[in-house]
Amino acid sequence: MRRLVTISGAFALALAVTAASGQPPKADPPKKADKPVPNPVDATDAAIGRALATDPDVKMAQAKIQLAEAELAKARQTITLKVLALKSRVEQGKAELRVAEQHLANQELSFKAKVVPESELFAPRSKFETAKATLAAAEAEWKLLTGPDNNGEAKIIRLYESLADQRIELSFSPPTQQAPNAGAYRWYGSGASPAPITGPIPDRLRAVLDKPVKVGPKGEKVTFDKALEAFQKQAGFDIPIRGDVERIFLDRRTVGGESLATTIISEGETLPIGAWLQLFQDIGRGTFYVREYGLLVSDRKAGPPDAPTFTEFWKQAAPKPEPKPKSDPVPEPKPK
């Protein structure tokens, strides 16, 4: 009996060992993170911090710093607004001076043509002098506010603008004042006459320039768009006109109740369309250039260098068609 109990106990012990060996071992519990140990605060530093936080002189100095920063920000804002306002005054003064100068030039041309009496020049001259004085005062204030201009890039730009103006003045000078071999010098000192423009639109323009047109009765003020209507009705003028037409010839602004658009005074005469275009070109601020797509209106300083002016085109003869190459005669077939 005792032997049977011993065998049963050994068998149960073997089963327990077998079951325990089939299960994975238990994982170790996660370790708790160590708490950072605070650095000990030096007693002297702590005392200095408390003294700075409560000292009245330190508080007064901090208040002065904040006040100075606020005053500096206010001064910067004031100067910025003043510079922007003064720059706007200078630009407006330049624009008003250009308008007054152009109006005076138009009136002087009309006076020279005996269209208006000399008394008509008094008001434009007064406006011109007033605009000139206003601009001079604004520019003087600008120099006092901003100081001397030491910007090298700005100096280079002004130098190139000066050279460009000199070249343009040379191009409109008499031949005796031009450089040797200037030829038809007009832009960039090329010294070459513009090549004749060919194409369907230039050919139509060449054919219509000599057609006579009357733009209005004597004494009537004729604007550019009204003249174009007369060209279209009386001569079938259909040449496209592109570019800065609105600004140069059709200015919609008014000064003192007078329009700034380029205006001529009709004498009731009948002139070729080319002569009317020349008159508008002479009185206005722009120039007509002939391109393959039609007429281009541009400022005299910004015209394309390879395009002839309208006046040059009108003087040019129509290009002759190239002769067809002669072909050798076809030999007759020999009789069999």
Q: Distance (Å, rounded) from C-alpha 331 to C-alpha 327?
A: 12
What does the pLDDT average to over 282-298? 84
Q: Please choose, from the candidates 173, 237, 175, 170, the residue with its C-alpha nearest in 3D space to the C-alpha of residue 206.
A: 237
Alpha-carbon Rg for the chain, nearest whole angstrom, is 45
Q: How confident is the model at residue 80 (pLDDT cuts 50, 70, 90)?
A: confident
Q: Which residues of 252-268 are buried (b: 16+ CB within 10 A; e: fewer)?
A: eeeeeeeebbbbbbbee
**Whole-prediction pTM:** 0.40
Least confident of 17-31, 56-70, 119-133: 17-31
Question: 112 pLDDT band (50/70/90 cuts)?
Answer: confident
Question: Is the pLDDT reported for residue 16 higher than 80?
Answer: no
With 70 as the cut, is the pLDDT of residue 36 above it? no
Question: What single letter denotes the amino acid at residue 128?
Answer: F
Please tell me the distance from the alpha carbon of residue 164 to that of residue 186, in angstroms, as a whole number: 12
| pLDDT greater than 50 at residue 164 | no
Region 59-71: mean pLDDT is 83
Average pLDDT over residues 315-333: 64
Give me the chain's average pLDDT, please. 73
Q: What is the pLDDT of residues 293-322, one digit of tens each?
A: 888 888 777 777 778 888 888 887 665 656
Alpha carbon distance 261, 225 (integer Å): 10
Q: Residues near 225 by Cβ (< 8 Å), separated by ≥ 6?
A: 250
Which of 56-70, 242-256, 319-333 has the largest mean confidence?
56-70
Three-class DSSP category at 243: strand
Say how far residue 308 (Cα) sits from the centre of its chain: 25
Q: What's the rounded Cα separation, in Å, for the pair 262 and 258? A: 11
- Residue 150 CB coordination number (10 Å): 7
User: Among 126-130, 148-152, 184-188, which range has the highest average pLDDT?
Assistant: 126-130
Q: What is the pLDDT of residue 327?
A: 61
Q: Locate the domains of the chain by residue range.
A: 61-148, 151-193, 200-315
* Three-state secondary-structure class, residue 83: helix
pLDDT of residue 5: 47
What gap in Å lies between CA 297 and CA 225, rounded to an integer? 14
Task: Give me the mean pLDDT over the 3-32 stretch.
Answer: 55
Asked whether the predicted pLDDT for residue 206 surpasses 60, the reply is yes
Per-residue confidence band for 171, with pLDDT thresholds at 50, 70 and 90: very low
Q: Is the pLDDT of residue 165 over 50?
A: no
What ranges make up the beta strands (E) of 83-225?
A: 212-213, 221-223
Q: Which amino acid is at 44?
A: T
H or E segment and range at residue 105: helix 56-112
Q: How far apart are CA 208 and CA 233, in angstroms?
A: 13
Mean pLDDT of 215-233: 89
Instruction: List the structure tokens of 269.
Output: 């005469």
The token pair that represents 302 in the structure block: 């910004």
Interatomic CA distance for residues 292 and 237, integer angstroms? 16
Instruction: Answer for the pair 283, 262: CB distance below 8 angstroms, yes or no.
Output: yes
Looking at residue 212, what is its pLDDT?
A: 92
The edge-to-edge listing of strands for the beta sheet with 294-299 is 241-243, 294-299, 286-291
What the block records as the tokens of 232 is 């279209």
